[in-house]
Amino acid sequence: MRFTLGKTEKLKSKKAIEQLFAEGSRVKSFPLQLIYLKNKYSSEFPIKVGFTVPKRSVKLAVNRNRIKRLMREAYRLHKQLFSENLNENYSFMFIYMTNEEINYKDLELSIQKVGNKFLTKIKEDEQN
């Protein structure tokens, strides 16, 4: 697997984002929240992903952009954790939920925890 985050893997459609927030399920691991939804699209990679930092939490755009860059990098390096066990296509939105800026190592651990929680929840849903 290539460790890239290309144009085809990014969630950009306004309709898809609105549907994701309206119908998606959530998994949390401080300071991140993952909203996910099963989708029917054809792509070589099974996940389309977006990242957001609320303006209410982090006031300065410089800090919001830095946090988003760090989240994208952590996801890019650990995306095989999310995609290796998936049979369906999914849309993801990572939301940063705290006011303070955290360091990269903590953010990376949080991405991994969210990934593990997501996979366990998917397996539980498949069994039911």
CA distances in angstroms from 21 to 15, 36, 63, 104, listed in the order given: 10, 9, 24, 26
Three-class DSSP category at 102: coil
pLDDT digits (tens, 9 = 90+) for 103-124: 999 999 999 999 999 999 988 8
Predicted TM-score of the model (pTM): 0.91
Q: What is the pLDDT of residue 97?
A: 94
Q: What residue segments make up the domains of the chain, in order of their start?
A: 8-117
Q: What is the pLDDT of residues 85-105, one digit of tens each?
A: 788 889 999 999 999 889 999
Phi, psi of 24 (to 5 degrees): -75, 160
CATH 3.30.230.10 matches 8-117: yes
**Two tokens, residue 2:** 């290539």
